[in-house]
Structure 1
Amino acid sequence: MAIITLTTDFGLKDHFVGAIKGTIYSELKDAKIVDISHSISPFNIQECAYILKNSYYAFPKGSIHIVGVDAEPTVENPHIAVYVDGHYFIAANNGVVSLITAEINPEKVFEIKLPDVLHGAFPVLDVFVKVACHLARGGKLEVVGKPFDDLKILKEFSPRVSNNGNTLTGSVIYIDNYGNVITNIQKGLFEAYRKGRKFEINARNKRLTEIYDSYSDIINFNLDKSRRKGPGDLLALFNSSDYIELAIYKSNLQTVGGASTLLGLDYRDTIIINFE
């Protein structure tokens, strides 16, 4: 049976996640449910897309991903079921699917039209769960709705190139559990414009001229411990998803703070890279 994943902004205090899982198990006693995250910032499509984009591909082909962020349907954002890259995504047409699979064209997109469904305040339970269970049983998308050709495309978060290719302007798209700041500038884009040149990353009043491949690369073990960089120092690196990330080495967001609080950076704030 296909895996059903859950990604929502519901948190864990309320009954929502429990009700979703209980309903799935009531329909499919052998269901395989995986929580990706229930801590997405409320209605934050970009954050949701970042987490799903960097996790869905690790699941087997045929997995079904319920996206419970900004899920209430409207005339402009109907419910959709999308088959892309061997995976199913069930979401509102709010742009999240286009951000998750930006480089891949969907094979099938259907507007969900279930008979005898009351559209209330809990559409993830009322609609998405029914579609997910249908697909998990081996059902076809054609049964749950009609072909849809108006998939919403979001592109406003792409980095900007200016100054004849000498400047990249990116934005903060995610702040992780450690307070690390993830930008929307990926390694491929950075290297394409860098062309071997020196560079400077400008984040608030901080300047960085080196990007590491891992957090501990900031430490020069050839130096005496008293002269090394280490815990509490700022660094930039290409994270595991190949995005430029700013971090405070071995910092704790809950105590002394992380890169986001210590640099004063928040979602959508600007990061500028200048090439020499």
Structure 2
Amino acid sequence: MAIITLTTDFGYKDHFVGAIKGTIYSELEDAKIVDISHAISPFNIQECAYILKNSYKAFPKGTIHIVGVDAECTEENQHLAVYVDGHYFILANNGVSSLITSEIKPDKIVELKIPNPQPGAFPVLEIFVKVACHIARGGTLEVVGKKFDDLKELKEFAPRITNDGNTIAGSVIYIDNYGNVVTNIQKSLFEAYRKGRNFELLARNKKLTRIENNYSDIIDFNLDRNQRKGPGDLLALFNSANYIELAIYKSDPNTVGSASSLLGLDYRDTVTINFL
């Protein structure tokens, strides 16, 4: 039986997550359900896309991913099933698949057209769960939808290259549990335009001239403790997803603050790299 994952902005206070799981188990008693996250900020497509992109590859091929963020069906927000990179994604056409489909071409996309749909305000339960269970039983996408070619892409995910290739203007797409700030600038893009040059990374009133590979790389262990950088210091690094991230070493958003709070950075704020 294929794994079914859940990624939503429903939280845990309400009945939504429990109702989804209960309905799946009612349809498939031996279902395997994995929660990726139910703490996506409400309607935050960029945050959802980042979490989904960096989690789905850990699952085996054939996994079915239900994405319940901004899922109400409209003329511009169709319900889709996307088969890409060996995985099924059941979601709304709101751009949440952009980080995946911009790098890997989907094998198949269908607009969901299930027979006798139950109209209501809970489409993840009424539509997405039915489609997921159909696929988990071995059903094909052609049975639940018709071919679709107008997959929405979000321009916010693409940094702007300006100044004749000497500047990358990126933006914040995700803030993690530690308050670390993730930009939309990937390591591959950075290296393609850097061409061995020095650079400066500008975020609000801060300037950095190094990008680390690990958080602890800012520490020079050859120096005495009172002379070296450490907890509370700002750094930039290529995170595990190969995006440029700004962090405060060993930060705690609830006590000493975080990169997001101390720099005053929030979603869509600008981070700039100038090559010198």
**TM range, normalised to the smaller chain?**
over 0.9
Which residue is equivalent to 2:101? Answer: 101
Output the CA distance in 2 between the equivalents of 1:100 and 1:7: 15
Which residue is equivalent to 2:143? Answer: 143
Output the CA distance in 1 between the equivalents of 2:60 and 2:9: 24
Residues 99 and 157 of structure 2 are in contact (CA less than 8 Å); yes or no, is this contact kept in structure 1?
no
Output the CA distance in 2 between the equivalents of 1:194 and 1:272: 13
Structure 1: any 5+ residue segments left out of the alignment?
A: none
Residues 237 and 246 of structure 1 are in contact (CA less than 8 Å); yes or no, is this contact kept in structure 2?
yes
The within-5 A match list for 1:252-271 is: 252-271=252-271
Residues 53 and 101 of structure 1 are in contact (CA less than 8 Å); yes or no, is this contact kept in structure 2?
no
Residues 72 and 92 of structure 2 are in contact (CA less than 8 Å); yes or no, is this contact kept in structure 1?
yes
Kindly provide the amino acid, as one letter, of the partner of residue 261 in structure 1. Answer: S
Per-residue deviation, residues 222-241 of structure 1 (Å, max 9, x unmatched)? 00111010000000000000
Which residue is equivalent to 1:8? Answer: 8
Output the CA distance in 1 between the equivalents of 2:102 and 2:233: 34
Which residue is equivalent to 2:172? Answer: 172
What RMSD, in angstroms, separates the aligned Cα atoms of the two structures?
0.8
Task: Find the residue that maps to 2:170 and give its secondary structure.
Answer: strand
Output the CA distance in 2 between the equivalents of 1:120 and 1:16: 14
Which residue is equivalent to 1:29? Answer: 29
Which residue is equivalent to 1:47? Answer: 47
Task: Find the residue that maps to 1:96 and give its secondary structure.
Answer: coil
Shift of 1:47: 0.7
Tell which deviates more after alignment, 142-151 or 33-42.
142-151
Per-residue deviation, residues 66-91 of structure 1 (Å, max 9, x unmatched)? 01000000011111111111000000
Shift of 1:31: 0.4
Q: TM-score, normalised by structure 2?
A: 0.98
Which residue is equivalent to 2:160? Answer: 160
Shift of 1:93: 1.0
The within-5 A match list for 1:165-204 is: 165-204=165-204
Output the CA distance in 2 between the equivalents of 1:110 and 1:185: 31
Kindly provide the amino acid, as one letter, of the partner of residue 162 in structure 1. Answer: T
Which residue is equivalent to 1:79? Answer: 79
Task: Find the residue that maps to 2:14 and give its secondary structure.
Answer: coil
Per-residue deviation, residues 125-155 of structure 1 (Å, max 9, x unmatched)? 0000000001011111111111112212222
Output the CA distance in 2 between the equivalents of 1:25 and 1:52: 23
Output the CA distance in 2 between the equivalents of 1:188 and 1:150: 27
Structure 2: any 5+ residue segments left out of the alignment?
A: none
Task: Find the residue that maps to 1:179 and give its secondary structure.
Answer: coil
Per-residue deviation, residues 185-206 of structure 1 (Å, max 9, x unmatched)? 0101111111111111100001
1:272 aligns with 2:264: no
Per-residue deviation, residues 169-200 of structure 1 (Å, max 9, x unmatched)? 10000000000000000101111111111111
Tell which deviates more after alignment, 165-174 or 114-123.
114-123
Output the CA distance in 1 between the equivalents of 2:72 and 2:103: 26
Task: Find the residue that maps to 1:66 and give its secondary structure.
Answer: strand
Task: Find the residue that maps to 1:226 and give its secondary structure.
Answer: coil
Kindly provide the amino acid, as one letter, of the partner of residue 217 in structure 1. Answer: D
Which residue is equivalent to 1:225? Answer: 225
Q: Percent identity between the aligned chains?
A: 79
Which residue is equivalent to 1:116? Answer: 116
